[in-house]
């Protein structure tokens, strides 16, 4: 069954997948190179990383059509590790050049192991707990980050120093960007059989090459950054890393902490991207399978000299918008990227940066949730604050921190609202028994309010606490109920607990077996059976 599904994902629309994959491959080149520069390593390491991440996740990942490669979020985390490794390598009695890069390869082995473990333990499902305001803040912040990352491409080499473009070079850059965006906007209105992004890149590149226009290209971008060009060979096995473990010494805490952060950043960014692509395509991927595939790809990167990575939201959206839906699109993108390195470097280096910037600007427009402006004043204030905060933190820090902060803020807001919802309706039975009908969830946040509902001193000799419209949610709730019942019992008053859920009964009896005499099991209200059956079904 799995084999048939995989074959279907490869053969359902090969033309669109191949053309879309080629488009994505072109957009991957400057991104991989730029992130390699951010991390302070050779551009080929970034390109190899993008290839290995792309091919493994395309073939075995949890989301057909999603593109993975070297990413800026992970590159930023790598910087300190690489710098520290280089310092240690230079200080050795026999100096080791680029030791920081070797430490990165070692770290990626641990990153991969952590991510595979997350998949095996089925932790990918927790992406479902991310609230919608966090998701909207994520895509808005991400759109801003993608936009800001393109601004660095508006610099040119002047006398060996990178300076902002001005004059004719700036206007030429803006003109080519506008032409690229115009083609991408207008072509789909005429025909959708040809990928608009690929057409725009080809047209703009042809104008620059045949018109002999002097603009910044992929080749000049690499050389301005200190690289020697795209040309390289196949990735090679990095067997030397197994002989360099001794150099780590007292820095194992740095290796392991960096591995944990990289694994977390990679998984959060990938699972959020997977969730977004699910919404765009109205299909559903497997988060756990993506965790395992991404972990395997990062181990492969460590063994064969790539910088590692995770899902790339911008390239994934380019792929989806260009018609790429199957695994073939990601595989073509990865293989094409490697072919650029092996055979097509001279041609790819002539592609103007403006064309690629124009493509990414269209991605920014398509990524940003413009509807958030329209609904901002209609949603609860706390949700609006979360949306804006996640967007800001994504720009200020990174995606992982923003998502974690957003989930925590949403969870605290939910807990506070739930804590204030608990009520106790009071009435007297004909026999004089005072009934407390509890309404709302009893959990750690509402225990104080729950305790305040009872008046031990003035209550009659018989008390009934009815949970027909309440649910004891956690151990704090059970403990609060146990304490209030004990207070009544110690005061010599009769207390009866009714309509308790089975799990709450079990916990109470485990702590106080004598509670069996105060819990009423003969329940005659049909609503209780419905609620209990539903809870059992959920468990």
Q: How far is it, in rounded angstroms, from Cα 173 to Cα 19?
A: 26
pLDDT in tens, 268-284: 888 888 888 888 888 88
Whether the pLDDT of residue 297 is over 90: the answer is yes
Whether the pLDDT of residue 226 is over 70: the answer is no
Instruction: Specify the higher pLDDT residue, 536 or 173.
Output: 173
Are 300 and 448 found together in one domain?
no
Are 377 and 450 found together in one domain?
no
- With respect to residue 301, please indicate whether it lies within any of the assigned structural domains: yes
Nearest to 26 by CA among 229, 199, 146, 151: 199
pLDDT in tens, 491-526: 999 999 888 888 778 877 887 787 788 888 755 554
Residues in contact with 327: Cβ distance below 8 Å, sequence separation at least 6, in sequence order = 6, 9, 10, 58, 59, 61, 64, 65
Per-residue pLDDT at 84: 92
State the burial class of residue 459 (Cβ atoms within 10 Å of its Cβ: 0-12, 13-18, 19+): middle
Per-residue pLDDT at 531: 44
Q: Can you give the residue range of the structural domain that contains 329?
A: 15-156+230-336+370-390
Token pair listed for 534: 């539903």
Q: What is the helix (H) or strand (E) element at residue 279, kind and residue range? A: helix 252-281
Per-residue pLDDT at 532: 44
Nearest to 134 by CA among 276, 319, 321, 283: 276
- With respect to residue 271, please indicate whether it lies within any of the assigned structural domains: yes
Residues in contact with 149: Cβ distance below 8 Å, sequence separation at least 6, in sequence order = 34, 72, 360
Are 378 and 437 found together in one domain?
no
Segments in 341-442 forming alpha helices (H): 345-348, 353-367, 371-375, 381-396, 399-419
Tell me how many domains the chain contains: 2
pLDDT in tens, 102-148: 999 999 999 999 999 999 998 877 776 778 888 888 788 878 887 88
Instruction: Report, in angstroms and rounded to the nearest whole number, the Rg of the chain calculated over CA atoms.
Output: 29
Are 96 and 237 found together in one domain?
yes
Are 464 and 385 found together in one domain?
no
Are 377 and 432 found together in one domain?
no
Are 496 and 376 found together in one domain?
no
Q: For residues 189-197, give the mean pLDDT.
A: 78
Average pLDDT over the chain reads: 84
Per-residue pLDDT at 48: 93
Are 306 and 449 found together in one domain?
no
The alpha carbon torsion through 29, 35, 41, 46 (nearest 10 deg) reads -40
The DSSP code sequence of 34-51 is HHHHHHTS-HHHHHHHHH
Per-residue pLDDT at 303: 96
- With respect to residue 58, please indicate whether it lies within any of the assigned structural domains: yes
- With respect to residue 353, please indicate whether it lies within any of the assigned structural domains: no
Are 378 and 483 found together in one domain?
no
Largest CA distance in the chain: 99
Token pair listed for 146: 């993608």
Are 252 and 139 found together in one domain?
yes
pLDDT in tens, 330-359: 999 999 999 988 888 787 788 888 888 888
Residues in contact with 445: Cβ distance below 8 Å, sequence separation at least 6, in sequence order = 415, 416, 418, 419
pTM of the model: 0.70
- With respect to residue 405, please indicate whether it lies within any of the assigned structural domains: no
Whether the pLDDT of residue 487 is over 80: the answer is yes
Are 296 and 427 found together in one domain?
no
- With respect to residue 219, please indicate whether it lies within any of the assigned structural domains: no
Are 138 and 37 found together in one domain?
yes
Token pair listed for 344: 């097509």
Q: How far is it, in rounded angstroms, from Cα 309 to Cα 66?
A: 13
- With respect to residue 286, please indicate whether it lies within any of the assigned structural domains: yes
**CATH code, domain carrying 451:** 3.30.750.24
- With respect to residue 142, please indicate whether it lies within any of the assigned structural domains: yes
Place of tokens 């206007």: 171
């Amino acid at each position: 069954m799995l084999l048939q599904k995989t074959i279907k994902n490869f053969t359902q629309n090969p033309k669109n997948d191949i053309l879309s994959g080629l488009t994505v491959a072109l957009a991957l080149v400057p991104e991989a190179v730029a992130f390699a520069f951010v991390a302070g390593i050779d551009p080929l390491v970034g390109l190899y990383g993008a290839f290995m991440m792309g091919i493994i996740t395309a073939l075995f990942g949890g989301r057909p059509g999603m593109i993975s490669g070297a990413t800026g979020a992970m590159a930023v985390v790598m910087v300190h590790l690489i710098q520290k490794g280089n310092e240690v390598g230079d200080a050795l009695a026999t100096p080791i050049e680029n030791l920081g890069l070797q430490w990165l390869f070692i770290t990626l082995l641990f990153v991969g192991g952590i991510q595979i473990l997350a998949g095996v333990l089925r932790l990918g499902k927790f992406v479902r707990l991310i609230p919608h305001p966090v998701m909207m803040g994520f895509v808005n912040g991400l759109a801003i980050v993608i936009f800001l990352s393109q601004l660095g491409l508006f610099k040119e080499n002047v006398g060996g120093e990178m300076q902002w473009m001005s004059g004719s070079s700036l206007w030429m850059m803006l003109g080519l960007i506008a032409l690229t965006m115009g083609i991408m906007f207008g072509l789909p209105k005429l025909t959708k059989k040809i990928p608009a992004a690929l057409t725009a890149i080809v047209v703009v590149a042809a104008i620059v090459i045949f018109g002999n226009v002097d603009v910044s290209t992929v080749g000049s971008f690499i050389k301005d950054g200190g690289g020697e060009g795209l040309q390289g060979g196949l990735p090679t096995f990095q067997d030397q890393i197994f002989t360099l473990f001794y150099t780590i010494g007292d820095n194992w805490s740095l290796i392991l902490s960096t591995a944990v952060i990289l694994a977390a950043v990679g998984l959060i960014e990938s699972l959020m991207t997977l969730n977004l692509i699910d919404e765009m395509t109205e299909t559903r991927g497997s988060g756990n399978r993506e965790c395992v595939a991404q972990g395997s790809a990062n181990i492969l990167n460590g063994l064969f000299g790539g910088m590692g990575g995770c899902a790339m939201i911008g390239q994934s959206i380019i792929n989806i918008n260009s018609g790429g839906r199957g695994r073939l699109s990601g595989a073509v993108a990865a293989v094409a990227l490697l072919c650029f390195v092996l055979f097509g470097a001279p041609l790819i280096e002539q592609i103007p940066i403006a064309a690629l910037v124009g493509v990414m600007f269209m991605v920014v427009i398509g990524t940003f949730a413009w509807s958030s402006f329209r609904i901002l004043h209609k949603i609860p204030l706390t949700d609006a604050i979360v949306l804006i905060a996640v967007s800001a933190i994504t720009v200020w820090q990174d995606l992982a921190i923003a998502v974690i902060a957003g989930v925590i803020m949403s969870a605290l807001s939910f807990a506070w609202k739930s804590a204030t919802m608990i009520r106790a309706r009071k009435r007297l039975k004909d026999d004089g028994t005072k009934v407390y009908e509890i309404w709302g969830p009893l959990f750690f946040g509402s225990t104080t309010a729950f305790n305040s509902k009872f008046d031990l001193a003035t209550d009659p000799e018989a008390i009934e606490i009815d949970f027909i419209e309440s649910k004891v949610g956690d151990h704090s709730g059970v403990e609060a109920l146990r304490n209030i019942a004990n207070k009544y019992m110690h005061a010599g008053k009769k207390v009866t607990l009714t309509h308790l859920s089975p799990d709450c009964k079990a916990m109470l009896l485990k702590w106080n077996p004598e509670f069996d005499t105060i819990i009423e099991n003969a329940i005659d209200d049909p609503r209780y059976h419905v609620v209990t059956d539903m809870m059992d079904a959920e468990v």
